[in-house]
Structure 1
Amino acid sequence: MPICTTPAPEDSVKGFTGWLAKRKPDTRLSKRKNVLPHKVFHVNLSDIIAGKGFTNAHVVSWRHIYSDKHGSTAIETKVGESGDFLFHEAHSGPMVDEMKTLHLKLKKRKKLQSETYEFAFLRMFALKISAIWLRAADRQNDYFVPLPPYFYGLEQGRLYPVSEFIAITQRAITQLSAKSRGPAQRMMGG
Structure 2
Amino acid sequence: MPPVERRDPEPIEAYLFDLDGVLRVWDGADLAAVEARAGLPPGRLGEIAHDLDRYGPALLGEVTDNDWRASVVGALVADGLKPDVAVDVVLDWSANLGRVDPEVTEVVAGIRAAGGQVALVVNSTDRLELDLVVLGLDLAVDTVVSSARTGIALPDAAMYEIAAGILAVPAPRCAYVGPHAELVAGAERIGMTGHLFDGVSGLRAIVETLSAR
TM-score, length basis structure 2: 0.22
Q: Which has the higher contact order (CA 8 A, sep 6+)?
A: 2
Higher fraction of strand? 1
TM-score, length basis structure 1: 0.23
> Of the two, which has the highest radius of gyration?
2
Higher fraction of helix? 2
